[in-house]
Structure formats: C-alpha cells, structure tokens
C-alpha cells in the first residue's frame, strides 16, 4: 500500500511541474509576440514620420495647340545676278565713268582706255587696204591687156589659116592671160585681208570702251585713271555689278540630317546681325544635289528668294534662317521632359507615395520592374509617360508624332489636355 501511494505522489509532482513550465513558456511567447508587434508599430510610425522626406514629383500639364517644326541653317546673302566686268585689251586707263554704288544701265560707259596705239595701227591698216585696192586695179589692167593680145593672136591665126602667129607665141599669150587673172584674184584677196585686219583693229579699239552689260549697281571698282591694264592671259576684273538688289538670294548650308525635311516652296524667316530685332521673310527656290564637307560636316546648299525692296540687306551679310518644314494645328502637346522621365529605382522608392499600411510594413512589396519602353509603329514612335494617381506613379502608353524640341505631338493615347505628367523627381526637405 505504501509503495502504491508513493508512486501516485510522484506522478502528481511531475504533472504539477509540467503545468508550471507550460505556464512559463506561454508567458514567454506572449511577451515575444508583444515585442514584435511593438517593433512593427514603431517601424510603421517611423516610416510615416519620415514620409516628409519622401521623393516628390515635378509635373507639367498636357496642352492643346499648334506645333511648328523648323530647321535652322546659316548662310550669306547674294545678288540674284552678279557680273564681273573686265577688259580684253591692254592699255592705260584714260578715265573712269562709274563709281561704287552707282546705278548703271545696259551699254553705259564705265571706263575708257587710251587708244593712241590702236589709232596708229588702224591708220596703217587703212593704208594697206588702199594699196590692196590699187593692186586690184593694176591687176585688172594687166588682165585686160593680156586678154586683148590673146584675142588678137587668135584672130590673126584664124585669118592666116593657122600659119601665124606660131603655136609657141599663142601659148605664151594664153599663159600671160592666165597669170593676169591669177594676179587679179590675188589682189582682190589682199583687199579682203586688209579689210579684216582693219576690222580687227577697230573692234579692239571699241573694246577699249568698257560698257555695262546689265542694268544694276556697281558693287566694286578695281581700276583708277592712269592705271595700266594688262590682259595678256586673262581679262582683269575692273568692275563687279549686281543686277537687281531689290531681289536677292540667301544661300544657306543645310545639314545632311535635316535635308530630308527641306523642300522647294517652304517658307522661312531669317535674321542678320545688322538688324537683330527684325525678321526677314524668304522662300526656298532650289535645293542643290551637290554636297560639300566642311570640317567633317556634310551639308547641302539651299537657295532662298528674298524680297529686298527697301534695300536694307546687302550682299555678303551672314544670315541665320529658320525654315518651316511642318505645321501641326490643334494638336495635343506634351513636354519633352515627360518623355525623358524615368521612374526612380526600387531602392529610391522605399517610403514614397502614400503612407504604407501596417500590413504593408509587415509584408514587403515585390521589387518593381522597369516598364518604360520605346517602340516604332508605322513610322510613329510609341513611348511611355507617367502621371500620378493617388500620389502613385502610373504609366500611359502613347504614340508620338512631330516634335519641335520642346513639345511633342501625341497622335494616340489615353491622354487629354490638362493631364499632369511627371517630368522630374524632387526630394522634399525634412521639416
């Protein structure tokens, strides 16, 4: 009996110890859970307090309006027709009848060369011509004489039944007649030769008077009275004339990257340093196929017609032209900064946006993936822009069209005027 009672007592003691140990372990778990909950709450509160230091976004509104696409090029102003007037003759300049900026007409005398030498040569040529004419008369007299003698011989021989004169005398008379004819022809040729020499000298003398070939304005004058003009191998330029300065041309160099957009008939405006606050109008009349490479840059010369009725523009002025290559009216426009915006990396996004819930603090978010993309569809560019929905970034897929470098046309996309698009990320200062 004692042994049975003793065993019961031991079991009771073990069970009592187990109950005490179980209560202690339960208390430890409860304390651990309470500590964890307090830690999570502390983290949640800390994050919400630091929300004042979260990234903020700079936004810009979508607008509706007109878009003008331009191509910029530089060049120089030139007359529509520029003529260099020179001299084919050498000599001393006798007088100059035109000066800078003078308006001249076709045939007007610009300058004269001294003609003393040519006058002497012309007198000599005239004398040679008269000698040639006299030689013709002498040759004709000889021809008549030999012709009469030959006819006389033939008549006598016929009457004498071919006895006299002898055949030798008849042949000599015939030969003399032929020589007289040749001398007459030679004398006549000498007249033509002398006349040609005289005409050449008179032509040279006429070229000593420099005439204007066009109606225009004298741009440059490179001759003075008393100056010697030497035209041995090349005609020296004495004057440069511009046909009509009321109509000018602007020659600009268009970059090879822009030449595909430039076409004849397009309008342009340009400025010159002389009138920085004034714009002049122009129109493209020619795009030349020949290229030119300057410091490694390939350009194509483009000619624009310019109205210069007030003569304010001058040849040689450097101009900067803006060629209007395209116009889009009543289009939805977005700032180009919105197209360049890229969402922050996941590490930068922790704590941004709305305050995270307690569950969100406990359960971490999955890492964000980069969704920004650019695709080309039917020659149009498909891109992605971002807006804010409940202070959270939200992407919008759009198809863009023309761009002037500041604003871009939206052809397709769930976007309306007034929509705020994110253009930049800003960090707020801690309060």
Domain boundaries, the chain: 1-30, 55-66+332-427, 71-80+244-328, 84-113+212-243, 115-207
Tell me how far apart the alpha carbons of residues 123 and 198 are, in angstroms, rounded to a whole number. Answer: 9
Angle at 331 between CA 409 and CA 269, to 5 degrees: 80
Beta carbons of 109 and 208 less than 8 angstroms apart: no
User: What is the assigned CATH class of domain 55-66+332-427?
Assistant: mainly beta
Tell me how far apart the alpha carbons of residues 319 and 269 are, in angstroms, rounded to a whole number. Answer: 10
Strand partners, 249: 78, 305
Tens-digit pLDDT string for the chain (431 aa): 445 445 555 555 554 545 555 555 666 767 777 877 777 676 655 555 555 556 688 888 999 999 989 999 999 999 999 999 999 999 999 999 999 999 999 999 999 999 999 999 999 999 999 999 999 999 999 999 999 999 998 999 888 888 888 889 989 999 999 999 999 999 999 999 999 999 999 999 999 999 999 999 999 999 999 999 998 778 899 999 999 899 999 999 999 999 999 999 999 999 999 999 999 999 999 999 999 998 899 999 999 999 999 999 999 999 999 999 998 888 899 999 989 988 877 554 444 444 445 445 455 554 444 444 445 544 466 889 999 888 888 899 999 988 888 899 999 888 889 889 999 887 654 44
Concatenated DSSP letters for 215-277?
SEEEEEE---TT-EE--SSSPPEEEEEES-TTEEEEEEEEETTTGGG--TT-EEEEEETTEEE
Tell me how far apart the alpha carbons of residues 162 and 50 are, in angstroms, rounded to a whole number. Answer: 152
> Which of 83, 306, 309 shows the shortest CA–CA distance to 216?
83
Architecture of domain 84-113+212-243 in this structure: Beta Barrel (2.40)
Tally of CB atoms within 10 A around 115: 19
* pLDDT on residue 45: 58
pTM, two decimals, is 0.64
> What is 71-80+244-328's CATH superfamily?
Efflux pump adaptor protein, beta barrel domain (2.40.30.170)
* pLDDT on residue 401: 87
CA 28 to chain centre: 85
Beta carbons of 294 and 258 less than 8 angstroms apart: no
Q: Is 419 helix (H, G, I), strand (E, B) or coil?
A: coil
């Amino acid at each position: 009996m004692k042994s049975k009672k003793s065993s019961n007592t031991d079991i009771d003691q073990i069970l009592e110890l187990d109950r005490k140990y179980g209560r202690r372990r339960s208390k430890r778990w409860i304390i651990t859970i309470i500590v964890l909950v307090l830690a999570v709450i502390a983290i949640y509160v800390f994050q919400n307090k630091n929300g004042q230091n979260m990234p903020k976004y700079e936004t810009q509104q979508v607008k509706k309006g007109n878009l003008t696409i331009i191509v910029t090029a530089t060049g120089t102003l030139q007359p529509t027709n520029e003529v260099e007037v020179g001299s084919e003759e050498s000599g001393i300049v006798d007088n100059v009848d035109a000066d800078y900026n003078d308006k001249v007409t076709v045939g007007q005398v610009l300058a004269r060369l001294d003609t003393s030498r040519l006058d002497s040569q012309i007198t000599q040529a005239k004398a040679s011509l008269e000698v040639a004419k006299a030689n013709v008369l002498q040759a004709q007299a000889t021809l008549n004489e030999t012709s009469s003698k030959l006819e006389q011989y033939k008549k006598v021989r016929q009457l004498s039944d071919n006895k006299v004169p002898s055949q030798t005398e008849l042949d000599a008379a015939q030969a003399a007649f032929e020589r007289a004819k040749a001398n007459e022809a030679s004398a006549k040729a000498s007249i033509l030769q002398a006349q040609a020499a005289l005409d050449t000298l008179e032509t040279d003398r006429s070229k000593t008077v420099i005439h204007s070939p066009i109606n225009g304005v004298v741009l440059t004058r490179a001759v003075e009275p008393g100056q010697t003009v030497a035209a041995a191998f090349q005609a020296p330029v004495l004057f440069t004339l511009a046909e009509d300065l009321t109509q000018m041309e602007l020659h600009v160099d268009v970059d090879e990257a822009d030449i595909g957009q430039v076409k004849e008939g397009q309008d342009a405006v340009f400025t010159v340093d002389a009138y920085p606050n004034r714009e002049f109008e122009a129109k493209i009349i020619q795009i030349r196929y020949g290229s030119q490479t300057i410091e490694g840059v390939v350009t194509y010369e483009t000619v624009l017609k310019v109205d210069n009725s007030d003569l304010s523009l001058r040849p040689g002025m450097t101009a900067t032209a803006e060629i209007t290559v395209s116009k889009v009216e009543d289009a939805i426009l977005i700032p180009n900064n919105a197209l360049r915006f890229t969402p922050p990396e996941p590490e930068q996004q922790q704590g941004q946006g709305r305050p995270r819930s307690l569950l969100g603090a406990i359960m971490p978010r999955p890492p964000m993936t980069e969704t920004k993309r650019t695709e080309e569809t039917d020659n149009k560019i498909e891109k992605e822009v971002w807006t804010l929905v409940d202070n959270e970034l939200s992407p919008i897929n759009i198809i863009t069209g023309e761009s002037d470098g500041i604003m871009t046309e939206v052809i397709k996309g769930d976007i309306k005027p007034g929509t705020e698009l994110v253009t930049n990320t800003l960090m707020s200062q801690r309060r």
